[in-house]
C-alpha cells in the first residue's frame, strides 16, 4: 500500500514519525450523555490522570521526597523550648553514710528556656541525606516507568477495541453480502434457473456469518470493558472510541541507533543508576561508622526555687564518640552493602539485555508488519474481485454457487488478515515506542 504522506528519514524526526498517525481520527458522533467518546490521545491522558497504578507511583514519589526531608533534618540545628518544675525529697543515706536516717527536703525548683543541639561531624547521617536525595530520583524514575506501562496498556487495549470494531464491521458487511447472495439464490430457484442445494448453501453461509457477527459484537463490548477498567471509569459509564485502524508509512530507522538510544533514556536504566548510587552510599555509610561522631548540645534555663528568685543557668557541651568494638556489626553491615552493590549491578545487566531484546524485537516486528499490511491489502482487493466474478458466473448460470461460497470464505480470511495486519502494525509501533521509553511522549502529547 503506498504511503499516504512522506517523511524525512533522519532520526531527528523519529518522535514525529512515532506519533499515532496510524490511528485515523473521526468526527465525534452524537452520543447519549452517559457515553464517553474518546480518541486515543484522550484515552491515554485520562489513563494518566485516573489509573490507580499511576496514582500509587505518584504517592510513592511524594513519600520519597518526605523521607529525604527527614534525612536532611538530622543535619540541621535542632531547638526546642523546655520547662519543668518539681517538688522533691530524698533520704540522705542514699548519698551519704549517716545515722540515723535523715530526709533532705522537701524542696522545689522551676526551670524554663531553650535547648539546642547540632551535629558537627557524623558521616553516616550525611550519607543518609545523600541516600534520601538519590531515593527521590529513583522514585521519580520508577514513576516514569509506571506511567510508560500505563500508557502502553491503554494504547494496546484501545487498539484491541479498534480491531474488535473493525472485525465487527467486516462481519456485518459479510452478513449483508451473504444476505444478498441468499436472496439471489432464492430468486434463481424461484425462476427455475437455480437449484435448491444452491439456496441451502447460501442460507448456511448466511447463518455462519450471522454467528460470526454475534461473536464480533460480544468481543467489541468486552474489550471496551477492559479499557474502561484501565481508565478507572465509573461502573455505569459506557465508552466509545473515536478513531479507526489505519496505516501510515514510517521513515527508515537504524536499529543499532535505536538500541543505543533506549539504553540511554529508558526510565528503568535511570532508576537502576540511582539504585546503584544508593547502594554505594550505603556501603560508604556502613564503613564510616568507624569514624568519630562529633556533637554539640546545650541549654539556657531560667532556674530557681520560685519564678521570682531565679537566675540564668546554662550548659554548652561538645561530645565526641569513637567506636572501638561493635561485635563485628560494622564489618557485617559494610559487607552486606557491598553485596547489595553487586546485586544491583547484575540487575542492571539483566535489564539492559532485556531492553536490547525488546528494541530489536519491536523493530523487526514493525518491519514485518509494514510489509504484511501491503500484502493483506492486495489479498483483500483480490478476494473482493473473486467474489464479484463468482457472483456474476452464478448469476449467468455458468456454475453453481459453490464458487460463490468458496469466494466468500476467501474474502472472510482476507478481511481478517487485513484487520490483523493493521492491528499488528499499530501495536508494533506502540511496542517500539515503549521499548525506546517514549510511549508517553508519542501518544499523550
Q: Where are the alpha helices (DSSP H) in 306-328?
A: none
Is 1.20.1050.140 the CATH classification of the domain at 42-83+135-292+331-443? no
DSSP state, 310?
-
Q: In Å, how far are 131, 151, 274 from 69, measured between CA atoms?
A: 11, 31, 18
Q: Tell me, what's the pLDDT at 6?
A: 35
pLDDT (tens digit, 9 = 90+) per residue, 122-137?
A: 889 999 999 999 999 9
- Average pLDDT on 255-265 reads 93
Q: Does the pLDDT at position 96 exceed 50?
A: yes
Prediction pTM value: 0.79
The x, y and z cell numbers of residue 139, run together, are: 522514585
pLDDT (tens digit, 9 = 90+) per residue, 50-84?
A: 999 999 999 999 999 999 999 899 889 999 999 99
pLDDT (tens digit, 9 = 90+) per residue, 383-416?
A: 989 888 888 888 887 777 788 888 888 888 999 9
Q: Does the pLDDT at position 421 exceed 90?
A: yes
Nearest to 391 by CA among 168, 209, 169, 194: 194
Q: What is the DSSP string of 121-174?
A: E-HHHHHHHHHHHHHHHHHHHHHHHHHHHHHHHHHHHHHHHHHHHHHHHHHHHH
pLDDT (tens digit, 9 = 90+) per residue, 161-179?
A: 999 999 999 999 889 988 9
Q: Does the pLDDT at position 17 exceed 80?
A: no
Q: Taking a C-beta distance cutoff of 8 angstroms, is the pair 233, 104 a contact?
A: no
* Beta bridge partners of residue 78, listed in sequence order: 117
pLDDT (tens digit, 9 = 90+) per residue, 177-193?
A: 889 889 988 988 888 87
Q: In Å, how far are 51, 52, 161, 222, 344 from 37, measured between CA atoms?
A: 18, 21, 13, 16, 45
Q: What percent of the chain has pLDDT over 90?
A: 56
Structural domain boundaries in the chain: 42-83+135-292+331-443
Q: Does the pLDDT at position 16 exceed 90?
A: no
Strands (DSSP E) along 305-423, which ranges? 311-321
Amino acid at each position: 500500500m503506498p504511503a499516504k504522506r512522506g517523511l524525512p528519514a533522519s532520526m531527528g524526526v523519529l518522535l514525529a514519525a512515532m506519533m499515532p498517525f496510524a490511528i485515523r481520527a473521526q468526527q465525534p458522533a452524537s452520543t447519549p450523555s452517559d457515553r464517553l467518546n474518546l480518541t486515543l490521545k484522550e484515552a491515554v491522558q485520562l489513563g494518566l490522570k485516573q489509573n490507580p497504578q499511576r496514582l500509587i507511583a505518584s504517592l510513592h514519589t511524594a513519600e520519597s521526597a518526605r523521607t529525604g526531608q527527614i534525612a536532611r533534618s538530622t543535619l540541621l540545628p535542632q531547638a526546642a523550648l523546655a520547662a519543668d518544675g518539681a517538688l522533691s525529697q530524698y533520704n540522705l543515706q542514699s548519698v551519704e553514710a549517716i545515722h540515723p536516717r535523715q530526709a533532705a527536703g522537701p524542696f522545689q525548683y522551676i526551670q524554663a528556656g531553650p535547648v539546642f543541639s547540632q551535629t558537627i561531624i557524623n558521616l553516616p547521617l550525611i550519607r543518609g541525606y545523600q541516600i534520601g536525595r538519590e531515593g527521590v530520583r529513583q522514585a521519580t524514575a520508577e514513576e516514569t516507568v509506571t506511567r510508560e506501562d500505563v500508557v502502553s496498556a491503554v494504547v494496546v487495549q484501545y487498539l484491541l477495541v479498534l480491531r474488535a470494531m473493525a472485525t465487527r464491521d467486516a462481519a456485518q458487511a459479510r452478513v449483508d453480502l451473504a444476505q444478498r447472495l441468499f436472496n439471489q439464490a432464492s430468486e434463481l430457484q424461484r425462476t427455475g434457473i437455480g437449484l435448491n442445494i444452491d439456496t441451502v448453501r447460501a442460507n448456511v453461509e448466511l447463518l455462519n456469518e450471522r454467528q460470526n457477527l454475534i461473536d464480533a459484537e460480544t468481543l467489541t463490548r468486552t474489550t471496551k470493558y477492559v479499557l474502561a477498567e484501565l481508565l478507572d471509569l465509573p461502573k455505569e459509564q459506557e465508552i466509545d472510541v473515536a478513531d479507526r485502524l489505519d496505516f501510515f508509512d514510517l521513515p527508515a530507522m537504524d536499529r543499532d541507533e535505536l538500541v543505543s538510544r533506549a539504553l540511554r533514556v529508558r526510565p528503568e536504566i535511570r532508576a537502576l543508576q540511582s539504585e546503584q548510587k544508593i547502594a554505594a552510599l550505603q556501603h560508604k555509610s556502613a564503613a564510616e561508622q568507624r569514624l568519630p561522631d562529633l556533637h554539640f548540645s546545650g541549654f539556657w534555663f531560667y532556674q530557681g526555687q520560685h519564678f521570682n528568685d531565679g537566675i540564668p543557668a546554662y550548659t554548652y557541651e561538645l561530645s565526641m564518640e569513637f567506636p572501638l568494638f561493635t561485635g563485628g556489626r560494622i564489618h557485617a553491615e559494610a559487607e552486606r552493602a557491598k553485596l547489595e552493590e553487586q546485586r544491583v549491578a547484575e540487575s542492571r545487566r539483566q535489564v539492559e539485555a532485556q531492553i536490547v531484546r525488546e528494541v530489536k524485537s519491536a523493530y523487526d516486528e514493525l518491519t514485518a508488519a509494514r510489509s504484511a499490511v501491503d500484502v493483506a491489502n492486495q489479498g483483500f482487493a483480490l478476494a473482493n474481485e473473486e467474489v464479484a466474478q463468482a457472483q456474476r458466473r452464478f448469476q449467468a448460470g455458468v456454475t453453481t454457487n459453490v464458487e460463490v461460497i468458496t469466494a466468500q470464505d476467501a474474502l472472510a480470511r482476507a478481511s481478517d488478515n487485513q484487520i490483523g495486519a493493521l492491528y499488528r502494525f499499530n501495536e508494533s509501533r506502540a511496542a517500539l515506542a515503549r521499548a525506546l521509553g517514549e510511549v508517553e511522549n508519542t501518544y499523550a502529547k
